[in-house]
Structure 1
Amino acid sequence: MREADGERTGDGRAGRWSRRLRQPRPRTWIALALALIAVAAVGTTASGALERRDRLADNRAQLDRACRGLLPVERLRPYLPDGSRGRSAEYGTLLGTDPGQGTRALFDCRLSWGGGGPRGENGAEIMVRATAVGEPDQDTPALPRERGETFPLALPPSALGGSQLTGRWAAATLVFDCPTGITRHGGGRTNDIRVRAVLPRDRSADEGADDRDGPARDLADRRAAARTAVAVADWVAERAGCGGTGLGAADSDGLTPAADPALCRWLDPGALGIGGGWTADPGEPYATRTGVCAIGHPDGRRVEAVSGIGGWGTRLYGDPDGSNIRSADGSWKWRGETPRASVSASSLCDGAGPGKRAGVRAYHRVAVTPPRGTADAEGWRRIPRADADRLTETARRALARYLAASDGWPRRSGCRDTTTLPERAR
């Protein structure tokens, strides 16, 4: 017997059973479709996992080689995302790049990652930069500064450093000496090189951390940025042929720099005849570029002595002192910022320690601030001529003691041929 489909069978019922076996039931189709979907999903998941793994591996390799290997790699690896690729830029005159491309840096490296990592959508950003500087600017460490902003590692006297901390990043800036000199962008030579490093803060221990751990974590973040700055400084100094001992040797114990109490011991209120109740500013270690000593009184009075060489010195004396606040009768009258009686001197200083240049011009300034006093209805404050003259006389006595102090900055820096400069009131 031949069925309608042309297949010969011996029994009609057998032919119907044969057709049923060849045509899957609806439930069979559903099962097959689900299986295909599952296989596709597994394949997609596996493919996505492989892509994330490869992207993370690429980011790790990028971090390892970024900035000439000068970054704290192990500390920064938790920031690496697997959902986006890092972006890097690296250039500088020491790397053979044409300085005409717009950079004033001897070395400049920036590395960032987008969102998707363990630190949230903002990702992380790293920056290290070395620049040959002619004049200090807002990124250059200067004294006086808040104690919490000191450089958190020991440095030789020929280097000056500072650090900053925000909720998201830690930064360290230092200026070190290049005795052989280096050409700045745009011409001119300088012996000062500034390095700045900015790193994301380490938040890995935030969850469940005790509040008492805060200062320790803050210090760890500052030191990570400071060590990066030191590593960059040593790398740049070697390639610039600066000579001398690397700054990294100063970090052998990882200690913060110790203050030098003898440096400001000469600033004695009793010896100056200005009474009691004064408090000295926190001390600083000796540095060859600049130094400061200061005391303050609860009534607003302040005595401050500052010295500096190179750009720090010329800026110290060359900054405009504002309009003369002395009236025709010799009294002071002002509104806004409190004025200061200021006396200055200049010297040739041989410096301290190996590698310093002889005969560097230094400037010294002593400034005395009057009490806050009470303003009139229009916001004016006044002090009579006798009080203004006493401020100037105090400044003169303080400058004389400062220049003569055996442990003070001028003597310690080998200053000589000192000349007193015209007095100013600010």
Structure 2
Amino acid sequence: MRRFWARTRLRNTALGVLVAVVAGGGWLTLRDGGGSGGSGHLAENRSQVQRACKGALPARELSGLVPGDSPGRVREYGTMLDPGRQSRSLLDCTLDWGDGRRIAVHAEALLSEVPQKLRADELAGLGGPHLYAAPGITGQYGPHGGWLVTECLGGLRGRARETTDLYVTATVAPGTDRGWDRSALTTLRTAVHVANTITREQGCGGDPLPRPESIVAVSDDDGRGRSQRSCDWIGVAGSLPVAEGAWTTVGDQQDSPVLNACESHWTEGEDPGRPERWEVSGVSAASWSGALGRSAYDEYEGSGAVPGWDLPAGGERPGSSGDEEIDGAASDPRLALWARSVCDGGPTYHRVSVSPEIGVVGRVVLKRADRERLSQTARTVLDRYLAAEHGWPRTAHCRDTTLLGEVEEWH
């Protein structure tokens, strides 16, 4: 009889381990089985994921990440849950199991700015590694989670007024290292599922966002970024008056109808010599439509990098009509040119910039002729960007372009 009970305990223990591994998917823990000494919260926690956040979470997608060793705690609010209560959020929901394990989503009707970094270099992956995009989704995944922006054709019912722009963020923290690419895919799928649930509940109309089947790393392991077809116009040999040699071009990877960013920098050619002083060794181009356009312009304006922001009362910067002394140690000096168009995504801001080679530390004189060449190059860059066959402005059917002015980003 003693041997019988020993064999029975052994079989039950083995069964508990097998159930934990199969049911837990990517979350391997021996405490999920009720007969293995754990607290047995797995079934209730998974049911909680289905119920929470007004049913907006992709429960099947997230089921393998839900632990069973502690009960989940839910915090949720927003006008989707309580229409009679004023809130900027349509939905703000967090499930927390402790030890850094949580799922958090936030959705709001955009009445002002997109609270994300929208500068060209950030979007193109030059801000660092671990930045991912899902082609066809306007948004990205980074070290702090994922975000996206989508349109509600029928209008979202916000706190102050209706708007057609929906902003969603998501954070999926399983408490274990699953790899940046897997975390990015799960997080962006969660954000898309939340966005589609909200637009359906709000009666927005239109097609739902596609569920991402894969993600693309915007930047490589060195944070240098990756190229995309909409930026190929930069690399056409002899098409731009820039320094000769090899160039590295990167892009934002989103394939978005309302957003685009390209960055390109001189690297070296067969002759590793540096470009001459005041030759262009860097080129940038970016476009933002609708709410993204307002947000990007405001972000640049916050650092004084929009036309006319810090001009004196006379309307000209000192030295603009002749030679000008600037600091050769200025961080990434650029001459930027802004324009505005009407594109498929609505009113759109374009910004192109050229970076001159300085090569010295200390004060250096920018002669009027060199300044004029930089201005001409910036205009050439804008013209090529707007006219490129596979460039973003052509695919977005931009028209009625108006120049807004230049910004010297070396002061």
In the alignment, is residue 240 of structure 1 matched against residue 202 of structure 2? yes
CA offsets per residue over residues 298-331 of structure 1, 9 Å max, x none? 4683111111111332344452326567536332
Over the residues paired in the alignment, what is the CA RMSD in angstroms?
A: 3.3
Given candidates 87, 91, 94, the residue that maps to 2:80 is: 94
Structure-2 residue corresponding to 1:106 = 90
Q: Which runs of 5+ in 2 are unaligned?
A: 1-33, 219-225, 268-273, 275-279, 312-316
Of 286, 289, 304, 2:258 maps to 289
CA distance in 2, matches of 1:338, 1:370: 9
What residue is the counterpart of 1:180 in the other structure? 154
* Alignment-mate amino acid for residue 203 of structure 2: G
8 Å CA contact 1:301, 1:370 repeated in 2: yes
Normalising to structure 1: TM-score of the pair? 0.69
User: Separation in 2 of the partners of 1:69 and 1:176?
Assistant: 16
By how many angstroms is 1:418 displaced?
1.6
Seen in structure 2, the aligned counterparts of structure 1 residues 266 and 57 have a Cα distance that, compared at 3 Å, is closer
Q: Cα offset for 1:257?
A: 9.0
Q: Is the 8 A contact 2:101 2:175 kept in 1?
A: no
* Corresponding residue SS for 1:301: strand
Q: Is the 8 A contact 2:90 2:107 kept in 1?
A: yes
**What code does the residue aligned with 1:371 have?**
E
**1:12 aligned residue:** none
Cα deviations across residues 106-145 of structure 1 (Å, max 9, x unaligned)?
A: 111111123xxxxxxx241220111112444443666533
CA contact (8 A) 1:92 1:106 kept: yes
Structure 1 match to 2:166: 193
Superposed, which structure 2 residues align to 1:229-308 within 5 Å? Answer: 229-247=191-209, 249-251=210-212, 253-254=213-214, 256=216, 261-267=228-234, 268=236, 270-283=238-251, 284-298=253-267, 301-308=281-288
The structure with the larger Rg is 1
Structure 2 CA distance for partners of 1:141 and 1:399, relative to 1, 3 Å? closer
Structure 1 spans left out of the alignment, 5+ residues: 1-47, 115-121, 207-213
SS in 1 for 2:360: coil
Distance 1:271 1:52, change over 3 A: closer
Q: How far 1:66 moved relative to its partner?
A: 2.3
Matched, 1:345 2:339: yes
Inter-partner Cα distance in structure 1 for 2:227 and 2:154: 29
Check 1:339–1:275 CA distance in 2 against 1; reply closer, same or farther (3 A cut).
closer
Q: Do the aligned residues in 1 keep the contact of 2:104 with 2:170 (CA within 8 Å)?
A: yes
Q: Measure the CA separation in 2 of the matches of 1:422 and 1:413.
A: 22
In structure 2, the residue matched to 1:7 is: none
| CA distance in structure 2 between the aligned counterparts of 1:105 and 1:171, rounded to whole angstroms | 18
Residue identity opposite 1:345 in structure 2:
A
CA contact (8 A) 2:134 2:214 kept: yes
- Amino acid of the residue matched to residue 153 of structure 1? A
CA distance in 1 between counterparts of 2:296 and 2:47 reads 46
Q: CA deviation at 1:49?
A: 8.8
One-letter amino acid of the counterpart of residue 231, structure 2: C
Identity %: 30
1:382 to partner: Cα distance: 4.4
Name the structure 2 match of 1:163: 141
CA 1:160–1:381 in 2, change beyond 3 Å: closer, same or farther?
farther
Mapped to 2, the partners of 1:141 and 1:242 lie a distance apart of 26
**Other structure's SS at 1:243 match:** coil
TM-score by length of 2: 0.71
Give the superposition deviation at 1:240: 1.5
Q: Partner of 1:331 in structure 2?
A: 324
